[in-house]
Amino acid sequence: MSAAGLPPLNRKALAGLAPEQRPAADPAELRTRIVHFGLGAFHRAHQVVYTENAAACSGEPWGITAVAPRSAETVRALRDQDCLYSLTERRPGGSLSRVVGAVTGALAMRPDAAAVDALLADPEVTVVTLTVTEKGYHRSARTGGLDTTDPAVAADLAAAPGGQLTTVVGRLAAGLAARMRADASPVSVVSCDNMADNGVALSRVVSDFVRASAWPDRAEILDRLAEAVAFPSTVVDRIVPAATDADRAAAGAALGVHDAVPVVGEPYRQWVLEDSFAAPRPPWELDGALFVPDVAPYQLTKLRLLNGSHSALACLGLAAGRTTIADAMATDWGEHLVRALCAEVAPTLPAGGPDPGTYADDLVVRFRNPAMHHLLRQIASDGSVKITERWLPALRSLRARGAATPVLELALAGWVNATRPPSDITDPARDALAACWALAARPAETVSALLRVVGAADLADDTALTTAVADRLSALRAGRVDI
Ligand code: CS2
């Protein structure tokens, strides 16, 4: 029994739930045919749901063993619950909770390394997916390839065969290499992280790892990877704030069982995938996923409009003393910011994607959802690896054609302001960002130094840009957002 006197969520408890609260597919019928890296809330509210519904609609037994790269806590909690957890959809008018059951196993990457490798080499496993966030790829800000000078990557490259690996890229490369050495059965490796060309980005860091390794057969491995492994690009979308104690209590009240690891999300979800898989995959299209020859128009629209607005609301909202996205939308500038950013960036989007005006209308509704408590701090974290995807490519493209960029400049000023020490926002480049403020330089020079840290030397040299950004800083410091 939990503190609230509820029985724990597990397979036995399913019989006591209302039919619409039970998993769509019977968990006992599913087998691990997918390995996923990144056991966060987003994966459990997105790919697992699509997979479960695809299994339910097709009768095919697709299940997922999810691997947690770092923390073993969620792994333990999930195993205690027979890998079941609840998903609560937060609608403006109320919530809907049910149990999801397509996770067939939970592993912690380091202690369970042998089991992870065995699955990666298993011909029954034909899909590997990842949600490890932008920083999990360890890309060089300058080249986009694997940053082999990153201490964690360097340590993995230096590890003895069979030794401890701490990066997902290292574990994946080692696992795929073992699969290639065994029977080279085809597999698709699918990045579900918010990066343009995420399939290409993932393929590149994996190949870079193999190339930089000391493995005597690395050249053969690279050849086999090129033949047998596909890296389709994808666009994932669902707003999934980190769950709180209040969410745990609400899930317990709705289902009558105690769930230690619930997830909450908005009702909306979308998945667009490049139709270039190398091996069998779940029929996710049965649950509404879209398979297209080229995801770029969807990807850039989502990254630049949704994620771009999210990051802008987060940085500026924090400056204005707000806490959540819905709070920031409730200011007199929130909705205007989203619409103005979308309008400014729209000319940079390729044809063939969603209509930017309609997309902006939908964003306003999604961001205003009062039932979602999406913390600005969560979104503002890792800004150095997010703005390079969300703002800077559009900024470059607009400036190259001589267009004005006032909204992106304001957003960038919000990010600059958020990096000012003592900033407690997590970021893989936090020390390097803080060091830019120690230069005692003019504000425009600090902006320039910060842009160099994120690999944007070209923008750092654009003095009109850095001056315009610097000019916004004192208002932001006083908590004012003037669009
Ligand atoms: C957010 C995303 O935390 C963030 O940076 O912008 O997680 C966003 O909620 C998702 O990409 C929505 O699909």
- Please tell me the predicted confidence (pLDDT) of residue 440: 76
CB of 238 closer than 6 angstroms to any ligand 1 atom = yes
How many DSSP H helices and E strands does the chain contain? Answer: 24, 12
- Please tell me the predicted confidence (pLDDT) of residue 162: 84
CB of 125 closer than 6 angstroms to any ligand 1 atom = no
Atom of ligand 1 nearest to the CA of 386: 5
Mean pLDDT of the 380-396 span: 98
Is the separation of the CB atoms in 349 and 297 below 8 Å?
A: yes
SS (H, E, C) 291-351: EECCCHHHHHHHHHHHHHHHHHHHHHHHHCCCCEHHHHHCCCCHHHHHHHHHHHHHHHCCC
Residue 380's DSSP bridge partners are none
Give distance in angstroms: CA of 89 to centre of ligand 1: 16
Mean pLDDT of the 47-52 span: 98
Give distance in angstroms: CA of 216 to centre of ligand 1: 40
- Please tell me the predicted confidence (pLDDT) of residue 1: 67
Mean pLDDT of the 283-309 span: 98
Name which residue sits closest to atom 3 of ligand 1, judged by CA. Answer: 379
**pLDDT by residue (tens digit) across 446-461?**
999 999 999 999 999 9
The answer on pLDDT for 2 being more than 70 is no
Helix (H) or strand (E) holding 264: strand 263-265
- Please tell me the predicted confidence (pLDDT) of residue 3: 63
CB of 269 closer than 6 angstroms to any ligand 1 atom = no
- Please tell me the predicted confidence (pLDDT) of residue 336: 98
Atom of ligand 1 nearest to the CA of 238: 13
**pLDDT by residue (tens digit) across 194-206?**
999 999 999 999 9
Name which residue sits closest to atom 1 of ligand 1, judged by CA. Answer: 379
User: Percent of the chain scored above 90 by pLDDT?
Assistant: 96
Helix (H, G, I), strand (E, B) or coil at 42: helix
Report all structural domains of the chain as residue ranges with CATH numbers, in order of start: 11-293 (3.40.50.720), 296-478 (1.10.1040.10)
**pLDDT by residue (tens digit) across 65-83?**
999 999 899 999 999 999 9
Nearest to 193 by CA among 46, 339, 53, 332: 46
User: Percent of the chain scored above 70 by pLDDT?
Assistant: 99
Nearest to 37 by CA among 119, 160, 139: 119
- Please tell me the predicted confidence (pLDDT) of residue 408: 98
How far apart, in whole angstroms, are the C-alpha atoms of residue 239 and residue 378?
Answer: 12
**pLDDT by residue (tens digit) across 249-268?**
999 999 999 999 999 999 99
Mean pLDDT of the 126-154 span: 97
The pLDDT confidence band at residue 140, using thresholds 50, 70 and 90, is very high
- Please tell me the predicted confidence (pLDDT) of residue 72: 92
**pLDDT by residue (tens digit) across 3-29?**
668 999 999 999 999 999 999 999 999
Residue position matching structure tokens 């597990």: 10
**pLDDT by residue (tens digit) across 429-447?**
999 999 999 987 899 999 9
How far apart, in whole angstroms, are the C-alpha atoms of residue 9 and residue 261?
Answer: 10
Name which residue sits closest to atom 9 of ligand 1, judged by CA. Answer: 239
The model carries a pTM of 0.97
**pLDDT by residue (tens digit) across 326-374?**
999 999 999 999 999 999 999 999 999 999 999 999 999 999 999 999 9
**pLDDT by residue (tens digit) across 161-202?**
888 999 999 999 999 999 999 998 999 999 999 999 999 999
